[in-house]
Every structure is written in structure tokens, then in C-alpha cells.
Amino acid sequence: MYVNMQPFLFHSPTKILIGPDTALSIAEIISELNAKTPLIITDSNLRKAGIVEGIISAIKQANLPIHIFDQVPPDSDLESVEKAVQIAKQNHCDIIIAIGGGSVIDTAKVANIGISLSANALDYEGVNTITCKLMPLIAIPTTAGTGSEVSAVAVIKDKKQKSKLLFGSPFLFPDIAILDPQLLISLPPKLTAACGLDALTHSIEALSALTANYISDGLSLNSMLLMFKHLLTTIKDGSNIDTRLATLVASTMAGLAFTNAGVGIVHALSHTIGSRYGTHHGLTNAVFLPYGMQFNLDVAKAKYALAWRSLAAQEMEKYLGNESAITKYIKANKSEADEKEAAQHFINIVKIFIQECGISINLKSIGITNLKDEDILELANIASTDPAIMFNPKEASVQEIAKIIREAY
């Protein structure tokens, strides 16, 4: 699998703090980063639910001034970034604390460009355009899916252009990530599923990416196994701290993997569809994942076979029970198979898992209807130029991408 493997770089500068109530140590962490005036970036739903209040209280108890921007939308945009920058500059903030899902953390990353460099963040769109360290950033995820808390990329929507803007730089890595499962307790089942499947997509695409390596593969495989073991239980019982923490760690592991290895055609399609129709990123990834895997099968079969054998070696009945569809499938197909058969088993079990999570693997189920052939070709053209596709293990023509969209429709 790694014959003549070239030298590779694995970059992971983010310090990660893990465990229940770790977010309440926020004042100590601010001090550790030599900061005194924090800006919290979050969203209004988290404020209303009281999820952010414990962190705010801990900062106030340390007698630190605090400023809050809590209007980040679910699919964040340049307007939100500009508002956050304005608040930070007006109040001379010297550290950002992002509390939320991927949209919030990505908003904080891009806002940090504008704050630290006193410039229009748009001037730094693209990859490796930032040349110096930015203001300290603490990322506290409230979903287990995006991996943004340990990634060097951010994606923000340009509503006027109906497109998504990519920012990528080693200087965008958060300084510290805090994984506190207590903050995820109230996450609804459907959103828990969508976010978990987002992380699963990260791990699978990173596993088969062109620039995958020993370290990213280890993270991808273990992230995948944690999600298969614990996501369904977490969907059913969101108050289970142990499984919440397991899925949160799995998401972060997948984030570390894809940040260093890349993703692929599934993300290219998801970015394209999400920009056009405003669909949830995790749900869109879940819809396209089996189709993208099937397209990549002939070149990714060694990695998929490895994933299947790793999964089949687990005693899944301990986690999911003897009657689960996943356990039944593994038991029925556990006998030795050749590489291609094992790889196909893995694709099949991914389909079963997505459906067990309550997600239908078609675009109509996420609200995309009346998709005409000219729409499909236009979407395929856009997806063919998405930066994510450059890491896909197999080249894809516009016609081949269009075929995947038709299959998923």
C-alpha cells in the first residue's frame, strides 16, 4: 500500500484539551495565551440554550472584560465575518474564543485574518496567502462532525456570488481546542447524525486521498471505528457522556486526518450543492458518500478493504446488539474475501450505517427537487473545479461527476 511512499509532512500544532467540564477552565487558558480581552464568537441558538453561559461566567469570575458576537448563521457568510471584525477592533480584543459548530469556528478563523492583519479578509482568500501568526484562537466545538477545531482551513459563503470561499493556511490552526462533551448534550438526534456522518466522510475520504500517509491513515481508521461503535447510541441517547465524548474525539481525529491528507470528490460535490441549495454540509456528505466511494472503488480498494477488515474484527454486538443491521451484515460476510470483495463490503456497510442513522441517501431527501439535466451538468462543472477534488484518488470528468449526481438524485 505504501510502496515507494514519498516523504510527507504532518502538521498538527493545536493543543487539545479533552474531557467533561474542561471548557470551564477557559480563564486559565486565556491567561496561558497571555491575553486579557476576549471576543466570543457563537450563535444565537447556543446563547438561548444556555450552552455558552458557563464559559461566559468563568471568564467574568476572572474579572476579564468580555465581548460577544452571537449572530453567526448556520451557513456563515462574509457579512458575519465583517461584523465580528468590527466588534473586535472597537474593543481592542486580543483573543478569539469560538464556541459552536463548523460555521462558528470558520467564521472565527476568517475574522481573525481581518482583525490580525487589519485588512479585508477577502484579500487572503485561497491557500497559503497568510505569511504571519494571527491573534490567539481557542476553538470549542459544540458538534461532533466538522473537525474545524484542529484544521487549517475555513469555508465561508459569499451570498452575492452564491459561492463558497476557501481559506487555507498553517496560520489558521486554532491554538487550543477544547473537547467538552457536556456542551453537546442537547444536540438534537438528527443533527447528531448529520454531524457524525460528516466526520465519517472526513475519515473515509482522508483514508483514500492521494496524499494519505501512515499517520493520517491511523487517525482515519480509528475515527471511523469510534463512529461505527458509538454514533448510533449517541443518536438514541444524547445524554450519554461517554459516547458523546467518543464521537467528539472521533470528529477531531478525522479533522486531523483530512487536514493533512485532503478529502475528495464527495466534498467537492457537497460544497457545490451546499452553495447552490443551502443544504446542510453533513447531510449532503452523507448522501454522496456511498456514490463517491463506488466511483473510487477500483483505485481505493486496498484502503476500503483495510477499513472493512478493521471493522469486521471489532465485536460490534457489544456496542450495537446482535440484532442491528450492521452486526448482522458483518456476521454474514465475515468470512475471508479478496480485496475487491472486502472493499465492496465496506461500501455496503457504510450505506447500511447511514440508513441506520436515519438518513436517506438521495438528494430529494434533503430538499433538492426538480433537478434538470442542464442543472446537473452545471453543478458537475462547478464540482470539477472545487479544490477538494484535487486530492481524490481518481480523476473525474465532468460527465462522470454528472453521473454521480444523477445516481444520488
For 104-161, the pLDDT digits (tens) are 999 999 999 999 999 898 899 999 999 999 999 999 999 999 999 999 999 998 877 7
Q: How far is CA 384 from the centre of its chain?
A: 21
pLDDT(304) > 60: yes
User: pLDDT-based confidence at 4, cuts 50/70/90?
Assistant: low
Instruction: At 388, list the grid cell.
Output: 477538494
Least confident of 5-14, 80-89, 195-204, 298-307: 5-14
pLDDT of residue 362: 97
Radius of gyration of the chain (CA): 21
CA–CA gap between residue 149 and residue 100 (Å, rounded): 10
User: pLDDT-based confidence at 6, cuts 50/70/90?
Assistant: confident
Average pLDDT, rounded, for the chain: 95
CA–CA gap between residue 262 and residue 9 (Å, rounded): 12
For 18-71, the pLDDT digits (tens) are 999 999 999 999 999 999 999 999 999 999 999 999 999 999 999 999 999 999
pLDDT(271) > 70: yes
CATH architecture observed for domain 187-408: Up-down Bundle (1.20)
Q: Residue type for 299, please?
A: V
- Mean pLDDT throughout 293-312? 97
pLDDT of residue 220: 98
For 161-203, the pLDDT digits (tens) are 777 888 999 999 999 999 999 999 999 999 999 999 999 999 9
Q: Residue type for 263, please?
A: V
pTM exceeds 0.75, yes or no: yes
- Give domain limits for the chain: 15-181, 187-408
Same fold, 15-181 and 187-408: no
**What is the pairing mode between strands 163-168 and 153-158?**
antiparallel
- CATH fit for domain 15-181, picks 3.90.1150.10, 3.40.50.720, 3.30.390.10, 3.40.50.1970: 3.40.50.1970
For 356-392, the pLDDT digits (tens) are 999 999 999 999 998 999 999 999 999 999 999 999 9
DSSP 152-195: SEEEEEETTTTEEEEEE-GGGS-SEEEE-GGGGTT--HHHHHHH
pLDDT(275) > 90: no
pLDDT of residue 5: 65
pLDDT of residue 157: 86
DSSP 85-154: HHHHHHTT--EEEEEESHHHHHHHHHHHHHHHHTS-GGGG-EES---S--S-EEEEESSSS--GGG-SEE
Instruction: At 245, list the grid cell.
Output: 465524548
